[in-house]
């Protein structure tokens, strides 16, 4: 069962920071030089716009009336990957995060900024499947996430992959719930085939970029979404342009043609390394705000949420090889990123030492802030009530800790992965005849669909726990008549990116697999075409010892198989390819299948004998 808002203690360990061209984290209140000062560029009033660009107003008048170019200081407040973590940062971290406290912290930083202008930006994944968002769907428009994020007062929000998980119509409903509506940005997405989203494009709510007018000083903001979108989410007819650098450079040119001199890119590319690489292909972008990687950037002395000290990825900011500062935050409303930059004639010349991540805390913490009262009443109270109701519904008990940690379920077999794969196979076997489907032989669940990211302790398992584990709108399906050769291809894909901790990693039921993680992995180009065949799968055997693959080759005479899985994978998500095989949906979600399996299939008891720590040895490496 879950708990809400306890009081853990913060500890600090020495940070191992990357060597950067810019020194950060000093305590003298000084700024670090980025480049030589320049002057002489005239400012514009921002009255002209190009297609796909909108203009908003914020800040005070900074227009130079002397005829000389003055320095301009800008504070960028940012976050990413809020992912419906509305109440707090999770079990044991109840004093941290919480969108009501996040709103209050943004308000505090905005009001206290000493710079001449402030912009507030999100780099995507603004909501996520789970018990909280299920409560939003039950409530209807406006969703709880929409109410909370509207209170933040964003100037621009990037569209991330998870924002499409429930399809275009739900994303349109999410956006419709904002009052007022900020700009929702992505320059490399074409919405023409999705009427609900295209209507928002036509209304200027969704755009490629926006211009924020800070009392005469214009700041351009461009959005970009991962080219992997069609493979990891459900964007429907939304078309993705994978040529990110070309798209962004074209948008930079359009903004510069309007006289915009300061340009910020907000992107959701799944990893800050993707942004650092993209930065080297760009010109005219001053700052990049990354999303999707959940990296912790911090400088020595920064106060972090407990446990994040051990996850520090680099200093704030990181710098690309061509000198563009790139920043991000860990998600879940744990931090507000604060980048304080100085510009001369539109050129970035310094970043203040005060820049960094600002922890969001409450309770008895030294940096505690009271949550925004209106957000607490409109969002936190009803969500907590809904979660507590779910937490009171007990479906069973576990005699063993269940490993759903993200960095484990995406690289190796875990007992929680076994449990979910077994639930798919069991539920599909129970329902197949009723839906006219073939009886399944094996089950496959991608690690990316296992979302609790915790060790679930020994004890009672609630409905809330099953939602935490299996939150997406994924339905159990049977993919019929999958040949041994096609199954080998599916598994080559499943284990092709284990070194990248990728969500396609397969947790399995009804068979065992042996693979070589050091062998050549299956590789795709940006359009999803195979460019290098995989050579990792060595052996596949059914639980009755029937050999399907041996020595890396399909066994002659081996049977075709019926696969219980989720519709996301059957439809090609995570680049699973079942060769066009037909599949039948069985009308039950994978969360419902998990709950049903615990109650009926396991008679309410998840035993250590059936689900030992580390798993049963279904997945082995060689």
**DSSP assignment of 370-399:** PPPHHHIIIIIHHHHHHHHHHHT-EEEEES
Task: Kindly state the average pLDDT of the residues 378-395.
Answer: 97
Contacts of 288 (CB under 8 A, 6+ apart): 264, 265, 266, 267, 275, 278, 279, 320, 324, 325, 326, 327
Q: Which residue has the tokens 């520090």?
A: 312
On the question of pLDDT at 518 being above 50, the answer is yes
Q: What is the overall mean pLDDT for the chain?
A: 90
- How many CB atoms neighbour CB 392 within 10 A? 11
Strands 206-207 and 183-185: parallel
Chain center to CA of 610: 32
Task: Kindly state the average pLDDT of the residues 216-231.
Answer: 94
Question: What gap in Å lies between CA 598 and CA 605, rounded to an integer?
Answer: 7
The third-level CATH classification (topology) of the domain covering 31-383 is: Purple Acid Phosphatase; chain A, domain 2 (3.60.21)
Q: Which residue has the tokens 């490993």?
A: 403
Question: Taking the domains of the chain in order of start, what are their residue ranges?
Answer: 31-383, 394-621
Residue among 47, 118, 114, 79 at smallest CA distance from 262: 118
**Residue 58's pLDDT band (boundaries 50, 70, 90)?**
low
The 10s digit of each residue's pLDDT in 63-96 is 444 444 578 999 999 999 999 999 999 888 999 9
Question: What gap in Å lies between CA 377 and CA 556, rounded to an integer?
Answer: 64
Q: How many CA atoms lie within 13 A of 40 on its CB side?
A: 2
Contacts of 176 (CB under 8 A, 6+ apart): 141, 142, 146
Q: Who has greater pLDDT, 166 or 542?
A: 542
**Helix, strand, coil percentages in the chain from 3-state DSSP, rounded to 5:** 25, 25, 45
On the question of pLDDT at 42 being above 60, the answer is no
What architecture is domain 394-621?
Answer: Alpha-Beta Complex (3.90)
pLDDT score recorded for residue 527? 81
Q: How many CA atoms lie within 13 A of 210 on its CB side?
A: 28
The 10s digit of each residue's pLDDT in 87-139 is 999 888 999 999 999 999 999 999 999 999 999 999 999 999 888 999 999 99
H or E segment and range at residue 251: helix 244-257
The answer to whether 310 and 318 are in contact (CB under 8 A) is no
The 10s digit of each residue's pLDDT in 437-489 is 999 999 999 999 999 999 999 999 999 999 999 988 798 999 999 999 999 99
Contacts of 486 (CB under 8 A, 6+ apart): 577, 578, 579, 581
The answer to whether 272 and 326 are in contact (CB under 8 A) is yes
Task: Kindly state the average pLDDT of the residues 232-237.
Answer: 87
The rounded percent of the chain whose pLDDT value lies above 70 is 89
Confidence (pTM): 0.77
Q: Which residue has the tokens 């930059």?
A: 341
The 10s digit of each residue's pLDDT in 165-192 is 888 999 999 999 999 999 999 999 999 9
The 10s digit of each residue's pLDDT in 288-329 is 999 999 999 999 999 999 999 999 999 999 999 999 999 999
Question: What gap in Å lies between CA 471 and CA 589, rounded to an integer?
Answer: 9
Q: Who has greater pLDDT, 68 or 354?
A: 354
The rounded percent of the chain whose pLDDT value lies above 90 is 83
Q: Could you give the C-alpha distances from 607 to 84, 400, 427, 466, in angstroms and in order?
A: 32, 7, 19, 17
The answer to whether 349 and 37 are in contact (CB under 8 A) is yes
The answer to whether 241 and 247 are in contact (CB under 8 A) is yes
Question: What gap in Å lies between CA 134 and CA 146, rounded to an integer?
Answer: 14
On the question of pLDDT at 397 being above 50, the answer is yes
């Amino acid at each position: 069962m879950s708990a809400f808002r306890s009081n853990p203690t913060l500890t600090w360990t020495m940070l191992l920071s990357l060597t950067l061209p810019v020194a950060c984290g000093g305590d003298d209140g000084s700024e670090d030089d980025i480049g030589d000062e320049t002057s002489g560029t005239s400012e514009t009033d921002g009255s002209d716009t190009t297609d796909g660009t909108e203009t908003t107003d914020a800040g005070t008048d900074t227009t130079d009336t002397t005829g000389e170019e003055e320095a301009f200081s800008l504070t960028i407040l940012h976050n990413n990957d809020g992912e419906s973590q509305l109440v707090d940062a999770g079990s044991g971290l109840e004093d941290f995060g919480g969108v009501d406290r996040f709103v209050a912290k943004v308000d505090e930083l905005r009001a206290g900024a000493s710079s001449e202008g402030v912009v507030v930006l999100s780099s995507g994944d603004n909501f996520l499947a789970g018990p909280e968002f299920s409560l939003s769907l039950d409530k209807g428009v406006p969703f709880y996430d929409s109410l909370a994020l509207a209170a933040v007062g964003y100037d621009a929000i990037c569209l991330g992959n998870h924002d499409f998980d429930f399809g275009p119509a739900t994303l349109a409903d999410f956006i419709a719930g904002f009052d007022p509506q900020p700009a929702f940005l992505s320059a490399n997405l074409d919405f023409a085939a999705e009427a609900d989203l295209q209507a928002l494009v036509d209304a200027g709510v969704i755009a490629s970029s926006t211009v924020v007018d800070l009392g005469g000083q214009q700041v351009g903001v461009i959005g970009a979404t991962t080219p992997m979108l069609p493979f990891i989410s459900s964007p429907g007819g939304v078309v993705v342009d994978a040529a990110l650098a070309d798209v962004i450079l074209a948008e930079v040119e359009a903004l510069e043609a309007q006289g915009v001199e300061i340009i910020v890119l907000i992107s959701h590319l799944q990893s800050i390394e993707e942004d650092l690489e993209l930065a080297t292909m760009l010109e005219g972008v001053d700052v990049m705000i990354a999303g999707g990687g959940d990296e912790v950037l911090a400088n020595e002395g920064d106060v972090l949420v407990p446990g994040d000290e051990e996850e520090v990825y680099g200093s704030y900011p990181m710098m690309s090889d061509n000198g563009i500062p790139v920043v991000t935050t860990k998600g879940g409303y744990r931090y507000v990123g604060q980048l304080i930059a100085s510009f001369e004639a539109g050129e970035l010349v310094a970043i203040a030492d005060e820049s960094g991540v600002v922890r969001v805390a409450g309770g008895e913490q030294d940096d505690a802030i009271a949550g925004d009262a209106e957000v607490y009443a409109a969002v936190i109270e009803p969500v907590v009530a809904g979660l507590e109701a779910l937490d009171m519904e007990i479906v069973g008990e576990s005699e063993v800790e269940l490993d759903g940690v993200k960095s484990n379920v995406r690289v190796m077999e875990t007992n929680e992965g076994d449990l979910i794969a077994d639930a798919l196979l069991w539920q599909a076997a129970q329902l197949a005849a009723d839906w006219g489907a073939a009886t399944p032989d094996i089950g496959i669940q991608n690690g990316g669909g296992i979302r609790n990211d915790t060790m679930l302790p020994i004890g009672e398992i609630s409905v809330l726990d099953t939602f935490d584990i299996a939150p997406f709108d994924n339905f159990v399906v049977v993919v019929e008549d999958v040949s041994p050769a096609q199954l080998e291809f599916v598994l080559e894909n499943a284990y092709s990116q284990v070194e990248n901790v990728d969500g396609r990693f397969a947790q399995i039921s009804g068979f065992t697999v042996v693979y070589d993680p050091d062998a050549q992995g299956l590789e795709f180009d940006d359009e999803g075409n195979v460019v290098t065949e995989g050579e990792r799968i060595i052996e596949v055997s059914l639980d009755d010892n029937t050999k399907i693959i041996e020595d890396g080759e399909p066994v002659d005479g081996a049977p075709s198989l019926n696969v219980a899985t989720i519709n996301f994978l059957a439809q090609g998500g995570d680049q699973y390819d079942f060769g066009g095989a037909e599949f039948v949906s069985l009308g039950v979600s994978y969360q419902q299948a998990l709950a049903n399996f615990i109650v009926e299939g396991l008679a309410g008891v998840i035993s250590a004998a059936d689900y030992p720590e580390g798993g049963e040895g279904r997945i082995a490496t060689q």
